[in-house]
Amino acid sequence: MIIQCPSCSKRYQVDEKHFQGKERVQFKCPSCQSLITATKPESAPEQPSSSTQKVQKVDGTASGHGVPDAHLLQMPDGKRFSLAVLQGPDQGNIFKITKPVVVIGRADADVELNDPEVSRRHAQVEVKGGTIILRDLKSTNGTYLNEQHVVASEIEHNTEFRVGGTTLMLIVTENLD
């Protein structure tokens, strides 16, 4: 099967052997480093001929969230997620993440920052079970991880990233409730 990167649109061949008994696999695009998820195709009674290859475009339109595989989004049990503002106008604020997709921006966002360098809808954090993705929403000033511009990247506990002039840190803790 051929899949297409949601960010740079490059196409890659993914063979059955890559799945190794799994229903889906994730890997980074060699070109732009965006996270790509490939879902194992269902067995069809009639296989397409070798001249016809199925193209699965991972374009982020699932469920209207602009998120690839949006149906997989879920908050894991026993974990608590927060974004702490380390630098910028909102320094010291902590925002709880209580849903699988959280938009960061200056207005009309789940995490509203008082930073004029932040776009109205700048970036989003997506939680897919144990995987957390930071995704830029085509912002004017970009989203940076280790001072490298990113379109989408996997992040984890204590990862620092910058939107506009604001530096945030993802905090993942055990839920003691």
Q: How far is the CA of 20 from the CAs of 38, 45, 106, 143, in angstroms?
A: 13, 21, 43, 34
What is the structure's pLDDT at 160? 96
User: In 10 A of CB 5, how many CB atoms?
Assistant: 23
Distance CA 122, CA 114 (A): 12
What is the structure's pLDDT at 64? 35
Mean pLDDT across the chain: 78
Residue 123 near residue 104 (C-beta atoms within 8 A): yes
What is the structure's pLDDT at 88? 95
**pTM metric for this prediction:** 0.60
Tens-place pLDDT, residues 49-92: 333 333 333 333 333 345 555 555 677 778 889 999 999 999 99
- In this structure, of 5-14, 108-117, 118-127, 147-156, the range with the lowest mean pLDDT score is 5-14
Distance CA 137, CA 120 (A): 10
Tens-place pLDDT, residues 99-118: 999 999 999 899 999 999 99
Tens-place pLDDT, residues 12-23: 667 777 777 777
